[in-house]
Amino acid sequence: MKAEKSIFIGSACILLMLLASVQARAQHIQLSPLIGYQTGTKFKTDVRPLHLEDGMELGAIFSIGLGGGRFGEVSYSHSFTELSLDQGPIYTPISHLGINYFSIGLLQDIYPKKKITPFGLLALGIINYNPSEGNVSASNQMHISIGGGMKTKLSQKISLRFQARLIVPVNSDGTYFKSGSDDSGYNIAGGIHSLQADISGAVVFRLK
């Protein structure tokens, strides 16, 4: 996980410095509150698979125009779900789970001067799994996400944004969910073991 944090922090610092350097001359600065729906997934562990239920998500995206229909973006979203142990025909609940997604990335409008434009995006970041039960520990993973969608301008200051993303959690050192007071838990080996997807809609407010 140290390697993942180093990669994310280094990339975040580089992007933030780039964003800071262009903020004064940015063509657009936007803030986009969003609401969406996220699919569940399974993680293979050394015991049994862990299952995440589908869930709603809330968040926001801060975007700075870099020119040519390109935006640097910093985003945060929070998903509400349930962590369960997959025991074949049944799922045994372990904990309610809040999932925090911190992302930095780039978005490219295909037709930036038109009222309706498709776009593509690429981002990386950190996923924080935050169980609500006290006997289950929190855990973190790096993620890479790719996606696309559509923007529709309603006025010079307000637009609508609809998007879909594929989210790929990446474990360089593995992830461990501790459960109980005896240090027992579920170990997820390093690598890519699951995929998630989400769809969301946002209202885009142009601040500059």
pLDDT tens digits along 39-55: 988 777 766 777 888 98
Our measurement of the distance from residue 131's CA atom to the centroid of its chain's CA atoms, rounded to an integer in Å, reads 17
The answer to whether residues 135 and 145 touch, using CB atoms and an 8 Å cutoff, is no
Give pLDDT, residue 40: 85
CB atoms inside a 10 Å sphere around CB 192: 10
Query: What single DSSP character describes residue 146?
Result: E
Give pLDDT, residue 151: 97
Our measurement of the distance from residue 8's CA atom to the centroid of its chain's CA atoms, rounded to an integer in Å, reads 13
Give pLDDT, residue 184: 54
Q: pTM to 2 decimals?
A: 0.79
The answer to whether residues 143 and 116 touch, using CB atoms and an 8 Å cutoff, is no
Q: For residue 17, give the H/E element and its range.
A: helix 2-23
Give pLDDT, residue 2: 47
Going residue by residue through the chain, which has 208 residues, state the pLDDT in tens, using 9 for 90 and above: 444 445 455 555 555 555 555 554 556 899 999 999 999 887 777 667 778 889 899 999 999 998 889 999 999 999 988 888 777 778 878 778 888 999 999 999 999 989 999 999 999 999 888 887 655 666 778 899 999 999 999 999 999 999 999 999 876 655 555 555 555 555 555 555 678 899 999 999 998 8
Residues comprising the chain, all counted:
208
> What is the C-alpha to C-alpha distance for residues 198 and 168, in angstroms, rounded to an integer?
11
| Burial (0-12, 13-18, 19+ Cβ within 10 Å), 44 | middle
Give pLDDT, residue 175: 55
DSSP H stretches of helix in the chain: 2-23
Q: Which amino acid is at 95?
A: S
CA neighbor of 141 nearest in space, from 35, 7, 1: 1
Sign of CA dihedral 100, 20, 73, 26: positive
- Dmax of the chain from CA atoms? 60
CB atoms inside a 10 Å sphere around CB 103: 24
Give pLDDT, residue 91: 80
